[in-house]
Amino acid sequence: MTDAPKNLLRPLPASLPEERVDVLTPPGAVRVERIVSTGHASPPGFWYDQREAEWVAVLQGAGRIAYDDGSEEELRAGDHTFIPAGRRHRVAWTTPDGPTVWLAVFYEG
Amino acid sequence: MTDAPKNLLRPLPASLPEERVDVLTPPGAVRVERIVSTGHASPPGFWYDQREAEWVAVLQGAGRIAYDDGSEEELRAGDHTFIPAGRRHRVAWTTPDGPTVWLAVFYEG
């Protein structure tokens, strides 16, 4: 957290070898993360299966979350969604046109 | 939450009689709120004195948080800060030049 970015939106890297995750909160019951993707997606067949609930927004760029029931949800700047604990999901796509900034709040709900 | 805005940034009201608060998460251990200010500040002499910790960011616009030790912190789009439970604070100022969008995460930490 000491090295957390002071600003969520600048500066942003134009491209990254892999997603960059910064934790923005002190250790505790809740973890706020900024995640920067530059065209990244979850590996094929990979699913997040979390014990924690997740509230997530896209602050810049665009991304698509796929769920294991076959549905997908596209988030553009300002869009947000809630993923209950145990709902399997993956990042199906993020825009290749510049960085996508996710803001995610994880907690045991 | 049913009436929560689908998008954090649009549409935004140009002016509001008072701050508008929308809760974005289902009832639980954590409350994510979007707060829209259009030049509002806390009433003189009023202090938030919360049992909950608060992580807060400004997504658009600008605002200034004052603490009861006399310090102030200005947040512009993308800036964020953490306010421990019990740290008395107030909103000293938000820009009169259009809406300021705060994103706040409250939890017992």
pLDDT, tens digit (0-9, with 9 covering 90-100), for B77-86: 999 999 999 9
Token digits for B26? Answer: 């289902």
List alpha helices for B1-109, DSSP H: none
β-sheet bridge partners, residue A32: A105
Q: Are B95 and B15 in contact (CB under 8 A)?
A: no
- Measured CA to CA in angstroms, residue B89 lies from A62, B18, B33, B35, B67 at distances of 34, 19, 17, 16, 4
Phi and psi for A66 in degrees, rounded to 5? -105, 145
Strand order through the sheet with A89-94: A72-76, A62-67, A89-94
Peptide linkage before A84 cis (omega within 30 of 0): no
Of B9, B80, B107, the CB nearest to A24: B80
Residue B7 has its nearest CB partner, among A7, A79, A109, at A79
Q: What is the mean pLDDT of residues A63-70?
A: 98
Judge contact between B94 and B38, C-beta under 8 A.
yes
pLDDT one-digit tens code per residue, A3-43? 889 999 999 988 999 999 999 999 999 999 999 999 999 99
d(C-alpha A11, C-alpha B56), whole Å: 19
Amino acid at B56: V
**pTM, entire model:** 0.96
Q: A24–B55: do the CB atoms touch at under 8 Å?
A: yes
Which of A10, A24, A30 shows the shortest C-beta gap to B107?
A30
User: In angstroms, what separates the C-alpha of B3 from chain A's closest C-alpha?
Assistant: 14
Tens-digit pLDDT profile for residues B16-60: 999 999 999 999 999 999 999 999 999 999 999 999 999 999 999
Q: What share of chain A is helix, strand, coil (3-state, %, to 5)?
A: 0, 50, 50
- Count of CB pairs separated by less than 8 Å, A with B: 76
- Contact between residue A108 and residue A94 where contact means Cβ atoms under 8 Å apart: no
